[in-house]
Structure 1
């Protein structure tokens, strides 16, 4: 893990090699599309690994940070199911993350004022303070991830990834 740049590139090279073999073995195999999917997966792993290293100093994991940030971006909190949807976590993992963050004193979970059958998860003052403490370092990390591309290229990448998301979601 000490040399993540090389780990990412060696992972990329391994993907290229294996896809070349699959392309030779299977006529019509969509190598370009498969490469993009594998690259997105590798990027996700590397983003998460780097984030976990950074967040470890704050006694947080990347999934916990994502929960805190989704709550930070909400007005009045979220239900556990809304939180799971916002963080792209499975229901069981969302419950586990909420429990971990409750134990750390960073969240509260209470009945909704509108519907007492529904629970609402919100940040505590300690959770809000931790976010204020972590965001500057995360901001620098994110800027570093994308330092090699221009604002226009980032906009184009976002536009293209949204199109891919729509295509994946339309597959049902």
Structure 2
């Protein structure tokens, strides 16, 4: 027997994906036009900022849900721009730790304020009750995921 909610769940998934893609495309363009940067650069800097301690490239990749190669490419550019530093591990020469430089920290803090403002504008049509309901639903979906 077919699940009677199957088609509705599929439509919900398509809507959720559409909203996510729209928001991501908007934020990519916002960062490009207003800050001459990319969403992957922002994401790497955000991960390093949240932790406030050096991360290995593997930890960074895992946090961002990207391959080591993708993370390395972004870190290479950030390092070239003086926004992150790489420090070899003292105990394992194959391991490199990455952290924000003082300039990276300063730049990210400015980016983060504008990013938050833009996300707020994107979802300004949602009330506090809407946000609570969506957050609750997404948390339940995460716990129930196979």
Q: Which residue of 2 aligns with 1:78?
A: 55
C-alpha separation between the residues in 1 aligned to 2:132 and 2:3? Answer: 35
C-alpha separation between the residues in 2 aligned to 1:50 and 1:96? Answer: 23
- Structure 2 spans left out of the alignment, 5+ residues: none
C-alpha separation between the residues in 2 aligned to 1:101 and 1:39? Answer: 34
Q: Which residue of 2 aligns with 1:30?
A: 6
How big is each residue's C-alpha offset from its partner over 1:90-129, in whole Å with a ceiling of 9 and x where there is no partner?
Answer: 2221122112212222111112356544211100112111
Q: Which residue of 2 aligns with 1:128?
A: 105
The 3 A distance-change label for structure 1 pair 92 and 135 is: same
Cα distance, 1:67 vs. partner? Answer: 0.7
Q: CA RMSD in A?
A: 2.2
- Structure 1 spans left out of the alignment, 5+ residues: 1-25
Match of 1:48 among 11, 24, 27: 24
Match of 2:123 among 122, 130, 146: 146
- 3-state SS of 1:73 partner: helix
- 3-state SS of 1:105 partner: coil
C-alpha separation between the residues in 2 aligned to 1:27 and 1:129? Answer: 52
Matches for 1:44-123 after TM superposition, within 5 Å:
44-56=20-32, 57-113=34-90, 115-123=92-100
How many residue pairs end up in the alignment? Answer: 144
How big is each residue's C-alpha offset from its partner over 1:6-65, in whole Å with a ceiling of 9 and x where there is no partner?
Answer: xxxxxxxxxxxxxxxxxxxx9968221112222222222212211112211322111110
C-alpha separation between the residues in 2 aligned to 1:59 and 1:115? Answer: 36
